[in-house]
Amino acid sequence: MTWPSTSTGWPASRPSWKPCSPLLTARSAPGGRSFVPSCELGRTAYVLKMYPRFSETFILSEILAHEAAGADLEIFSLRPPADGRFHEALAEVRAPVTYLSHHQRRAADLWALLHTASRELSGLAEHLDELLGASVEDAAQAVELALAVRSRGIDHIHAHFASVATTVARLASLLTGVPYTFTAHAKDIFHDDVDPGDLRTKLEGAAAVVTVSDFNLAHLIWSFGPAAARTQRIYNGVDLARFCCSTTEQRPPVIVAVGRLVEKKGFVDLIDACHRLRSDGRTFRCEIIGTGPEEERLRQQVEHLDLGAIVHLRGALPQSGVRAAVAGAAALAVPCVVGTDGNRDGLPTVLLEAMALGTPCVATPVTGIPEVIRSEETGLLVAEHDSEALAGALARLLDDRGLGARLAAAARTLVEEEFDIHRQAARLRCHFTGPTTVPTTAALPARECA
């Protein structure tokens, strides 16, 4: 469904909504304290399509935050990792990882697996028709997951992305009676190939649903009504101990952009903006970090515009390399667009990381971005596909370092107040079990920079 858009990226008309549970938001208390949810939980299965995945640093950060709070997790991956690149922080994860079988199966293989499972899974007979209505691969992995949930004493199942990981998590939940939740991000709810009936079924069956922006939340409620009643917005967070703020006044004139090289990132517009900046006689460098299917197209664009000495496609970097590049830049460009296939970003994690590092940001008002980039306050916003406006905003940050410092200071404050990964992970854990509230100070304990 297509909404009429406003200049902020929000639909012109959207349903009214409230957070599903007042216990899941910090509240003022006497003495200047706030209530932050604290929940006792048992063992939780994290179901992911692929683990580890180089581009999904937000999931890695979330897992580490759960473990720092003492959560007992086990990770189930539907696919093995696709490449050999890993972030250094991966070594800190304590949770065991199980790779569910992933190969072509015959129907006879599934029947054999079902026969084995019939002795262990109380919900098998009741939900057999639904299980057999799924693909052979999804059904088989769901049975494997269900058997593991039963044998390992797992109390809750959480999946990331409302696509295949949630398909498997939901089926395993039916087979075991163990509740499931999931986090909806972007492509899994916006892409043209999303099946509304399938997504509705997942929303209705989940104990709770999390999504990463208010824009996403409004979209789900607008599209699915009561089926989305248990949906809550919980932002992705940043580990502030890993992303320490520094001043921008002495940074070289470098523009950095980070993300997969795909249409929705808007890097075509960024390269056009760099051409405009060069034509205005500015001296600067632009570094685009990431890999993806549009790499060759972008290289050809750089060559066609004779920008080889200015625009550099650096490929993928580990998180430490990305952090260093962003921390050393005069500006971060996040020129996201809505793709021709409906795909779009939810709320790019790199924005939060740059804001934490004190790097001023220029972005477009796509989906949840205006929730963090409040124009002229915590960053600069320009219309999508407007390379002239993008160039103008970047020029302002290159020319006026005082402006950049002011925006960066406000952005860091916002991240500290609303996007601390440990606070966000604590709120997420309250979806895994019944929440209780405990008094804490308004801010979490200060964490020294690593």
pLDDT at position 178, please? Answer: 96
Is-contact 392 333, C-beta < 8 A? no
Is-contact 45 149, C-beta < 8 A? yes
How many Cβ atoms sit within 10 Å of the Cβ of residue 8?
Answer: 14
Q: In the chain, pLDDT over 70 holds for what percent of residues?
A: 87
Is-contact 125 154, C-beta < 8 A? no
The domains located in the chain, with CATH, are 41-233 (3.40.50.2000), 254-418 (3.40.50.2000)
* Cβ neighbours of residue 420 closer than 8 Å, sequence gap 6 or more: 237, 238, 240, 444
Average pLDDT of every residue of the chain: 88
pLDDT at position 105, please? Answer: 74
**Interval 63-85: pLDDT, tens:** 999 999 999 999 999 999 987 77
pLDDT at position 15, please? Answer: 36
**Interval 368-421: pLDDT, tens:** 999 999 999 999 999 999 999 999 999 999 999 999 999 999 999 999 999 999
**Interval 212-268: pLDDT, tens:** 999 999 999 999 999 999 999 999 999 999 999 988 778 999 999 999 999 999 999
**Interval 278-304: pLDDT, tens:** 999 999 999 999 999 999 999 999 999
Cβ burial 299-329 (10 Å sphere, 16+ → b, else e): eebbeebebeebbebeebbbbeebbebbbbb
pLDDT at position 39, please? Answer: 65
How many Cβ atoms sit within 10 Å of the Cβ of residue 226?
Answer: 9
pLDDT at position 49, please? Answer: 98
3-state secondary structure the chain: CCCCECCCCCECCCCCCCCCCHHHCCEEEHHHEEEEEECCCCEEEEEEEECCCCCCHHHHHHHHHHHHCCCEEEEEEEECCCCCCCCHHHHHCCCCEEECCCCCCCHHHHHHHHHHHCCCCCCCCCCHHHHHHCCHHHHHHHHHHHHHHHHCCCCEEEEECCCHHHHHHHHHHHHHCCCEEEEECCHHHHCCCCCHHHHHHHHHHCCEEEECCHHHHHHHHHHHHHHHCCEEECCCCECCCCCCCCCCCCCCCEEEEECCCCHHHCHHHHHHHHHHHHHCCCCCEEEEECCCCCHHHHHHHHHHCCCCCCEEEEECCCHHHHHHHHHCCCEEEECCCCCCCCCCCCCCHHHHHHHHHCCCEEECCCCCHHHCCCECCCEEECCCCCHHHHHHHHHHHHHCHHHHHHHHHHHHHHHHHHCEHHHHHHHHHCCCCCCEEEEECCCCCCCCCC
The alpha carbons of the chain give a radius of gyration, in whole angstroms, of 23
d(CA 65, CA 239): 8
pLDDT at position 427, please? Answer: 96
Cβ burial 59-74 (10 Å sphere, 16+ → b, else e): bbbbbbbbbeeebebb
Both tokens assigned to 272: 């056009």
- Polymer length of the chain: 450
pLDDT at 101 over 80: yes
d(CA 166, CA 162): 5
Angle of CA points 93, 358, 65, to nearest 5°: 20
Angle of CA points 444, 446, 448, to nearest 5°: 145
Q: Determine the residue type at 237.
A: G
* Cβ neighbours of residue 413 closer than 8 Å, sequence gap 6 or more: none
d(CA 22, CA 27): 8
* Cβ neighbours of residue 18 closer than 8 Å, sequence gap 6 or more: none
pLDDT at 438 over 80: no
Q: In the chain, pLDDT over 90 holds for what percent of residues?
A: 76
